[in-house]
């Protein structure tokens, strides 16, 4: 039985770094083919450009109408037959899938991975590594600043309102390999931020010129581990370098956040030059695990699932830069917004039937809640 061809998935928010990394992989070893997707503008609306490259040049270059509002669905629907065709061609031994600039790898690889099981449409392939390429000198501004992708011309669709930081932390946190462009000695804060926010079980490579394709294809991406890397319920504070003022803290309590105080004071916990993520609960819906995800000046909260028999807890993880005053401020805000010990002694029954002020954020409660 023929072994599946290795598939390397490349993400970035920088089109120049994308092209540099692709060029390096095409010349690093024989038998490499690249499938690249880009979002294009046209008189009839947005489109999808499929570009297939190998060491000899352009193999395919085709423009397709973008018929899905869901970009990952559109990329998947075009990528599946294209990947299958490349795997069956017999000319290549490694396939590199380059996602549109600013696209996140998890949704696409989740969908493709289900088709790589035995008997699936893409069973001739296996995901070997997910690679994120980033500009070290821009990391602090990109992650902690409030620039929008649309402001840089990097939005994937007309209604893509994500911040640059939101896209970058999703790519960085999911990657098996992070390749940085720039010297850590020239950008010490940015370098430390990368180490605080990248997957702790991943690999960091200093420069695209050191990206070793032979090592990338020997890997095997663990899809379950990849999901867990970005799961807010599993967020924990990183133990990265702090010599340059970069820090991560974990605020945890068995008590819930007070719904009214959270709505009134959310800026105290959710604003500022911070990366934050985690899970919380509120007494108006005690069975629901609620997620917290903030970066690039934006904060998203939502209802994830039930606690599945576990005791509910609140845990928010923050990463930032600068002095300890910000840490003190966050700790105080967290304690102020929690339901107090005195309020807890009154019991949760008093919350039953109370107006759910978080419904606009979390959606209506299900009957199970």
CA distance linking residue 94 with residue 324, whole number of Å: 48
Residues 200 and 271 in one domain: no
Domain shared by 205 and 255, yes or no? no
Looking at the structure, do residues 51 and 93 belong to the same domain, yes or no? yes
Per-residue confidence band for 368, with pLDDT thresholds at 50, 70 and 90: very low
Strand arrangement, sheet containing 5-12? 57-65, 47-54, 32-40, 94-98, 5-12, 125-135, 177-181, 203-206
pLDDT at 42 over 70: no
| pTM, to two decimals | 0.92
Quote the radius of gyration of the chain (alpha carbons, Å). 22
CATH number at residue 300: 3.30.1220.10
For the chain, give the percent of residues with pLDDT over 70.
96
Q: Are residues 210 and 272 in the same domain?
A: no
Rounded to an integer, the average pLDDT of 65-83 is 78
Indicate if 36 and 92 belong to the same structural domain.
yes
Say yes or no: 208 and 264 in one domain.
no
Q: Grade residue 72 by pLDDT with cuts at 50, 70 and 90.
A: low
Question: Which of 206, 186, 208 shows the shortest CA–CA distance to 195?
Answer: 206
Give the pairing type, strands 246-253 and 275-280: unpaired
39 shares its domain with 174: yes
Q: H or E element: which one contains 355?
A: none
| pLDDT, tens digit (0-9, with 9 covering 90-100), for 208-240 | 989 999 999 999 999 999 999 999 989 999 877
More confident residue, 46 or 137: 137
Average pLDDT over residues 179-195: 95
Whether residues 208 and 271 share a domain: the answer is no
Whether 50 maps to a domain, the answer reads: yes
Which residues, 6+ apart, have CB-to-CB distance to 190 below 8 Å?
A: 136, 137, 138, 139, 140, 182
- Residue pair 86/33 in contact (Cβ under 8 Å)? The answer is yes
Q: Provide the number of structural domains found in the chain.
A: 2
Is residue 117 scored above 90 in pLDDT? no
Question: Does residue 288 share a domain with residue 149?
Answer: no
Q: What is the DSSP string of 273-340?
A: S-EEEEEE--TTSTTEEEEEEEETTEEEEEEEEE-TTSPP-EEEEEEEES-THHHHHHHHHHHHHBPP
Is 91 in the same domain as 134? yes
Identify the pLDDT of residue 46. 67
Q: Which domain holds residue 160?
A: 5-230
Q: What is the CATH number of the domain that holds 206?
A: 3.40.50.300
Q: Is residue 117 part of a domain?
A: yes
Report the phi/psi class of residue 272: left, alpha or beta, with left for phi > 0 and alpha for psi in -120 to 50.
Answer: left
Residue 238 in any domain: the answer is no
In tens, the pLDDT along 327-355 reads 999 999 999 999 999 999 988 888 887 88
Asked if the structure places residue 74 within a domain, the reply is yes
- Rounded to 5 degrees, what angle do the CA atoms 77, 82, 85 make? 135
How confident is the model at residue 299, as a pLDDT? Answer: 92
Calculate the alpha carbon distances from 137 to 154, 187, 193, 248, 297 in Å.
18, 6, 11, 20, 19
Contact between 13 and 98 (Cβ < 8 Å): no
Q: Which 8-state DSSP code applies to residue 257?
A: B
CA distance 305 to 289: 5
Direct distance between the N- and C-terminal alpha carbons of the chain, in angstroms, rounded to an integer: 50
Residues 170 and 102 in one domain: yes
Would you say residue 367 has pLDDT above 50? Answer: no
Say if 9 falls within a structural domain: yes
Task: Please check whether residue 116 lies inside any domain of the structure.
Answer: yes
Q: How confident is the model at residue 166 (pLDDT cuts 50, 70, 90)?
A: very high
315 lies in some domain: yes
Q: Residues 22, 75: one domain? A: yes
The pLDDT of residue 18 is 95
Residue 239 located in a structural domain: no
Helix (H) or strand (E) holding 189: helix 188-197
């Amino acid at each position: 039985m023929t072994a599946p061809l290795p598939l390397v998935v490349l993400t970035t928010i920088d089109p120049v770094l994308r092209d540099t990394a692709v060029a390096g992989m095409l010349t690093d070893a024989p038998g490499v083919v690249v499938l690249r997707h880009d979002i294009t503008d046209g008189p009839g609306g947005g489109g999808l450009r499929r570009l297939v490259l190998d060491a000899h040049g352009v193999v395919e270059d085709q423009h397709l109408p973008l018929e899905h509002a869901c970009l990952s669905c559109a990329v998947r629907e075009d990528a599946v037959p294209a990947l299958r065709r490349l795997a069956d061609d017999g000319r290549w031994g490694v396939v590199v899938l380059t996602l549109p600039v600013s696209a996140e790898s998890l949704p696409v690889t989740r969908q493709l991975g289900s088709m790589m099981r035995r008997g699936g449409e893409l069973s001739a392939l296996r995901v070997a590594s997910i690679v994120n390429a980033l500009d070290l000198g821009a990391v602090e501004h990109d992650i902690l600043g409030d620039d929008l992708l649309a402001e840089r011309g990097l939005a994937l669709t007309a209604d893509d309102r994500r911040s640059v930081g939101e896209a970058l932390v999703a790519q960085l946190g999911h990657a098996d390999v992070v390749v940085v462009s720039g010297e850590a000695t020239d950008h010490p804060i940015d370098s430390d931020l990368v180490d605080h926010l990248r997957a702790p079980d991943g690999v960091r490579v200093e420069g695209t010129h050191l990206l070793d394709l032979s090592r990338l294809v020997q890997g095997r991406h663990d899809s379950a581990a990849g999901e867990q890397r970005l799961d807010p319920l599993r967020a924990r504070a990183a133990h990265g370098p702090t010599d340059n003022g970069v820090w991560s803290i974990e605020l945890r309590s068995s008590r819930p956040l007070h719904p009214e105080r959270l709505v009134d004071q959310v800026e105290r916990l959710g604003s500022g030059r911070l990366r934050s993520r985690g899970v919380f609960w509120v007494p108006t819906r005690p069975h629901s695990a609620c997620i917290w995800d903030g970066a690039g000046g934006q904060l998203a909260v939502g209802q994830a699932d039930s606690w599945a028999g576990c005791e509910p807890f609140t845990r928010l993880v923050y990463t930032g830069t600068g002095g300890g005053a910000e840490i003190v401020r966050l700790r105080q805000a967290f304690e102020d917004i929690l339901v107090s010990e005195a309020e807890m002694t009154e019991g949760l029954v008093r919350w039953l039937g109370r107006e759910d002020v978080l419904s606009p954020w979390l959606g209506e409660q299900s009957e199970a809640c």
